[in-house]
Structure 1
Amino acid sequence: MPSLLLVMFVLQTVLHIINTVGASTINELLWVLYNKLPTPTSSSAQRVQILKREIVRLKRELAATSPQDNFSGWAKLDRQHNKATAEYQKLDASLRTHQTTFTSTVSTLRWLGTQGARFLLQMYFAKSPMFWVPAGWVPYYVEWILSFPRAPLGSVSINVWGIACASMLALVSEAVAASYVLATKKAVPVGEKKGEPMAFEAQPKGGAGKGAAREKEL
């Protein structure tokens, strides 16, 4: 039986990864992996990729073929292009319907395995101490906070332990990101965030620069 401390830490780690990477990105990755396996949609997904490349090739050949000089060849390419496009649109619509169902199922399972599991653990083990704080180490009000909401006084509750794990993971991820920036020397440009003005050094232009030069001479 794994330790409850470790279980909560793993749950918080998984939640941190999901929040950092993004649920939509994870869903897309799982969908791609799902289609790589021998599943009901794998053959359709492979056919869609083939048709996509075929449509691009036919578009290039159509653009390179003149309908005035070689109408029969152009018409043949146009029929092939229209046929491939119609098949692609039909398969793509079917795949999107399957993907919507897949994403809904994955999102539900992910919530049950992370947020739902954490909620159940916090409810079921609300009165169970994760570990005990040595007597006299912290004041009474700190002991009360650490045992919130229903753990024995003088212990650390599962809720507080979960918050501590989440805070530590956030600090570690920020430290890793900062270390990466320092190691690669790739600083974030000033004003990259939306709505923030870009920082540029004011450069005199044209007559304004000449006027400033004259004022300095005077």
Structure 2
Amino acid sequence: MPSLLLTVFLLQLAIHMVNTFGASSINALLWRMYNSLPVSKSESSAEQRELKSKFMKVRKELNATSSQDEFAKWAKLRRQHDKLLEQLEKNKASTDSTRSTFDSAVSTLRWLGTNGLRMFMQFWYAKQAMFWIPKGWVPYYAEWLLSFPRAPLGSISIQAWFLACTAIIILVSDALVAVVALVGSFGSKTAQEAKKEPMAFPSEKAGAGDSKEEL
């Protein structure tokens, strides 16, 4: 059943990607994507950015105004400053609450779609063979381990296939990281050697000596 084999591999790959990049980084990326959508929260974020821009402008003008020489102007700017600051704090509290709810919902859906789905598949297909091992290829104890816990003897269980996919993904991932690191270090080393290597210029004295010899 190639479809189930591929599904298990892709699911384990998704779990590995989540563990590699981190749940917080993925949540932050999804939050930015959510804010870019034309929804009410996006409008709230745009309003908050506008308020922040006005606040910084008023604050800059307030700092440049003397409270003694221009008291009336300073008092007016101070009231605007305090009002904008209060609005910013309210918007920030609302945004933080929405962000917390968003992170909680995304984390729950991500777990259900990765580890939760893996646990369900391991239970649902526990008695089903992923594929069969040719008879006589491995000893009896190896057949028992590969079919653990409830798959038919002589077959590969879904648990064993999950472990095999995990091992392959980790090996390929480590190899890619090593190759990228090696290429990067080789490129930086080549650039450093190119900077350190002096350029050869013809000597004026040598040129003068050659001209005398020719004369």
The residue number in structure 2 matching 1:167 is 167
Partners of 2:119 and 2:43 in 1: CA distance:
39
How far apart are residue 64 of structure 1 and its match? Answer: 3.4
TM score, norm. by length of structure 1: 0.78
Task: State the AA in 1 paired with 2:68.
Answer: Q
* DSSP-derived class of the 1:163 partner: helix
Q: 1:76-127, CA deviations, whole angstroms, 9 ceiling, x for partnerless residues?
A: 3322222221111111111222222222211111111111111111101001
Q: 1:128-183, CA deviations, whole angstroms, 9 ceiling, x for partnerless residues?
A: 11111112222221111111111111111101111111121122221121111111
Partners of 2:52 and 2:174 in 1: CA distance:
40
The residue number in structure 2 matching 1:98 is 98
* DSSP-derived class of the 1:155 partner: coil
Residue 64 (1) aligns with residue 64 (2): yes
Alignment of 1:147-158 (within 5 A): 147-158=147-158
How far apart are residue 2 of structure 1 and its match? Answer: 7.1
Partners of 1:75 and 1:173 in 2: CA distance:
62
Partners of 1:63 and 1:54 in 2: CA distance:
14
Partners of 1:175 and 1:58 in 2: CA distance:
54
The residue number in structure 2 matching 1:55 is 55
Task: State the AA in 1 paired with 2:45.
Answer: A
How far apart are residue 51 of structure 1 and its match? Answer: 2.1
Partners of 1:60 and 1:161 in 2: CA distance:
63
Partners of 2:170 and 2:73 in 1: CA distance:
62
Partners of 1:15 and 1:122 in 2: CA distance:
15
Unaligned residue ranges in structure 1 (runs of 5+):
187-218
Which is worse superposed, 125-134 or 93-102?
Answer: 93-102
RMSD of aligned residue pairs (Cα, Å)? 2.2
Unaligned residue ranges in structure 2 (runs of 5+):
187-215
Alignment of 1:205-216 (within 5 A): none
When Rg is computed on C-alpha atoms for both structures, the one with the higher figure is: 2
Give the percent of matched residue pairs that are identical in Structure 1 and Structure 2.
52
Bigger share in helix = 2
| Residue-pair matches, total | 187
Task: State the AA in 2 paired with 1:140.
Answer: Y
Partners of 2:185 and 2:60 in 1: CA distance:
42
